[in-house]
Amino acid sequence: MSNSIDQIYDEIILDHCKNPRNNRKIHKPNIICKAVNSFCGDEVNIEIKLSSKKIITLTGSKSLGCAINQASSSMLSEVLYGKSIEEVFNLYNIFNCMMKENTVPKKASEQLGYLKNLKIIKKNPIRIKCCLLPWTALINEIEKI
Amino acid sequence: MLDIKKIRNDFPILSREVNNKPLIYFDNAATSQKPISVINSLTEFYSKYNSNVHRGVHTLSMESTDLFEEARNRVAKFINSKNSESIIWTRNSTEGINLVSNSWGRKNIQPGDEILVTAMEHHSNLVPWQILADINKAKLVILPINNDGTLNLDEIDTFINSKTKIVSAVHMSNSLGTINPIQELCSKAHKVGAKFMLDGAQSVPHIPTDVADIDCDFLVFSGHKMLGPTGIGVLYVKPEILEEMDPFLTGGEMVLEVSYEKAKWNELPMKFEAGTPNIADAIALGEAIVYLENIGMQNIRNHEIELTEYALSKFKSLDKLTLFGPLDPLIRGGILSFHSEDIHPHDIGTFLDHEGIAIRTGHHCTMPLIRSLNIPATSRASFYIYNTKDEIDYFINTLGNAIRYFTDVK
Ligand SMILES: Cc1ncc(COP(=O)(O)O)c(C=O)c1O
C-alpha cells in the first residue's frame, strides 16, 4: 500500500472505522446527540448515560458516513467514559483548538491521548468538519444541561 | 482515432502532479480543463484589444466588438442556429434557465398549467421551475426514471398533456450519464403546444448538437465544461419566441432609447444582455469552439464511447460496487457514477486524490435523485478528449486498492 494515504487514514482511524466501539443503542440514555452533515450525508447518533453525580458511565455511538466521522464518533464514545461534564467541555476545547488552530500547549495536548491521531486530518481541511461533527453534536446537547 | 498525445500537449495543466503523482483528471462533468489556445486568447484580449463593446467609436472598441460578435457567430454555427441573434450570452447554464423561467415563464405560465421536468434534473433545472410554479400557481410535474437510470416513458402521454406548457429536460444526466431521447420529448411537447427546453450543460461539450434538427425552443450550456473559461455560457432561443420575450435583467446595453419615464428595448440579442458583458471570456469560448471543431464533435463522441465501453467492462472486475445509469454506451455519456455500501464516497475521493486522481463525490447538485437511490452520495468519474485507457486502468486499479484498504479487516 502506498505511504501517502496513510497520512490521512492512520492505523487507529482505520481501526475505529472498521470496528466502531460502543456501537449500540443504550437503555434510557440521559443525553442523545444527533447531527447530520448534508454535504456528504454523515450522521451522528451518540447516546450517553450519566450517574447521579453527573459522571458519564455508558455511551453508545451509531454513526454513519465517512471513515473520519465514524472513527471520530467511535473514539469520542471511548474517551467520554468516566468524565464529568466539565471535563468533557475542557477536552472539547483542547481538541477543537488542535483541529482548528496550530498549536496546543504540550500539557493540554497530553490530555488528548489517542485523539491526537486525528490531527492528521488537518492535511485535508475539507474533512475537518467530518471529524468535528460528533463533537459539535455532543457539545450542543450538554450545553443545555 | 484522436491523437491523444498531441491533444494532451495542448493542455498545460495535464503535466502537473498531484501528491507527487501525475494528475488524472476525471472531473470533467464538473468543469473541463483548458487548452493553451483558450488561455492565450484571454491574455491576448487583455493585452491587445481590451475595451468595452457596442459603445465606442474608437478602434479598440470596434475591434473588441468584432471579436465578441465573431464568437457569437461561432457559437451559432456550432449548434447550427440559423441566426446569431438567437445566441444570448449568459454566465452559465444556470443563468440561462433562470432567464427563461423568469422572462418567458412568468409571462406565459397560467394558474393550473403544468411544467414538466425529469427526475434526473440538476438543481439548476429544477429550482427555477419550483419558484415559477409557486409564483404563477402552476404545477411542477416530475417525469420518473427506471431502475437502469433511463427515463420512464410508459405514460409519457399522460405526463405531456394539454395542460403542459413547457417541458424542460436534461440531455445528458450529470449524475447518471444517461442520454435522454430528447427528440421524442421535444416532438411530444410540440404536439400539445408546449415549449421544449434542453439543458445541454453536459451534452453540448461532448456530442454534436443541432438545434434545427432537435427543434428545441430553448437550449442552455456552459462554456467552462467545453474547454472554455468560467463565467460565460449560452442561451439559445428560437427566433419567433425571442421577439415576444421580455428582458430579464435591465439597465445599460439592453436599451435603445431611454427617457426618465421609460425605455425602449435594444435589438436582439442585446435586449437580453444588460450591462457590460463578459467580453474576454466570450471570445475565449469562441476559441474553445474552434478547438473542438478542429477535432470534430463526432470524433469526440466516438472517443468517449470507446472510453466508456472500456471503463464499463473494467468496472466488472470490482465487486462491492454499484454502478448507476444505463450500461449501453450509446445512450450514456462518459460519466460513471458508483457507490459502495462499505465506503463513503468522500473516503474514495480522498484515497484517489492521494494517488493523483481527481473525481467528484457528493450529490452532484441532484439531491432528490441521489436520495431516491437511497444513498448519501456517489463517486463520479467523467471523461473528456484528453483522457486515455491507460488512465482508466490506473483508476480501476487504484479503486480496487481503495476498496481493499477500507474493507479488509486485519
Ligand atoms: C446537467 C447540468 N445542468 C446544469 C448545470 C449547471 O451548470 P452551471 O453550474 O455551469 O450553471 C450542470 C453543471 O454541473 C449540469 O451538469
| Three-state SS sequence of A63-117 | CECCHHHHHHHHHHHHHCCCCEHHHHHHHHHHHHHHHHCCCCCHHHHHCCHHHHH
Cell digits of residue B111:
394558474
Select which of B365, B369, B377, B396 is catalytic: B365
Q: What is the mean pLDDT of chain A?
A: 90
Probe residue for ligand 1, chosen from B118, B173, B174, B332 as the CB with the greatest number of ligand atoms within 8 Å: B174
Q: What is the pLDDT of residue B374?
A: 86
Question: In total, how many domains does chain A have?
Answer: 1
Length of chain A counted residue by residue: 145
| Distance (Å, whole) CA B173 – CA B81 | 23
Min CA distance, B381 vs chain A (Å)? 17
Domains identified in chain B and CATH numbers:
4-30+297-409 (3.90.1150.10), 39-293 (3.40.640.10)
Size of interface A-B (CB pairs under 8 A): 61
Q: Is B365 a catalytic residue?
A: yes
Contact at CB, B355 and A1, closer than 8 angstroms: no
Buried b (16+ CB within 10 A) or exposed e, B104-141: bbeeebeeebbbbbbbbbbebbbbbbebbbeebebeeb
E strand or H helix that includes residue A45: strand A42-50
Beta bridge partners of B195: B166
| Distance (Å, whole) CA B296 – CA B286 | 15
- Using CA positions, which residue lies closest to atom 15 of ligand 1? B201
Closest CA to B279 of B53, B73, B57, B95: B53
Q: How confident is the model at residue A55 (pLDDT cuts 50, 70, 90)?
A: very high
The beta-carbon neighbor of B406 closest among A42, A64, A67 is A67
Probe residue for ligand 1, chosen from B32, B98, B101, B202 as the CB with the greatest number of ligand atoms within 8 Å: B202
Cα of B71 vs centre of ligand 1, distance in Å, is 21
Give A7's contacts in chain B (Cβ within 8 Å): 354
B405 touches chain A (CB under 8 A): yes
Q: What is the pLDDT of residue A1?
A: 43
User: Is the omega angle on the peptide bond into residue B269 within 30 degrees of 0, that is, cis?
Assistant: yes
- Please state the pTM of the whole predicted model: 0.92
> Whole domain around residue A42: which residue ranges?
3-142
E strand or H helix that includes residue A42: strand A42-50
Which value does ipTM take for this structure?
0.81
pLDDT per position as a tens digit, B65-109:
999 999 999 999 999 999 999 999 999 999 999 999 999 999 999
CATH of the domain at A59: 3.90.1010.10
3-state secondary structure of B409: coil
Cα of B94 vs centre of ligand 1, distance in Å, is 6
| Distance (Å, whole) CA B322 – CA B337 | 9
- Chain A contact probe: residue of B340, B347, B367 with most A CBs at under 10 A: B347
Q: What is the pLDDT of residue B409?
A: 65
Length of chain B counted residue by residue: 410
pLDDT per position as a tens digit, B341-375:
889 999 999 999 999 999 999 888 998 998 898 88
B350 touches chain A (CB under 8 A): yes
| Distance (Å, whole) CA B380 – CA B366 | 13
Ordered mean pLDDT values, 10 residues apiece, chain B (410 residues)? 95 96 98 98 98 90 96 98 96 98 97 98 98 98 97 98 98 97 98 98 98 98 98 97 92 90 91 95 98 98 98 91 95 96 91 96 89 89 98 97 83
Q: What is the pLDDT of residue B64?
A: 96
Q: Which residue of B has its CA nearest to A1?
A: B401
The beta-carbon neighbor of A40 closest among B354, B362, B410 is B362
Q: What is the pLDDT of residue B376?
A: 81
Q: Which residue of A has its CA nearest to B376?
A: A41
Instruction: Give yes or no for residue B222 CB within 6 A of ligand 1.
Output: yes
Contact at CB, B344 and A65, closer than 8 angstroms: yes
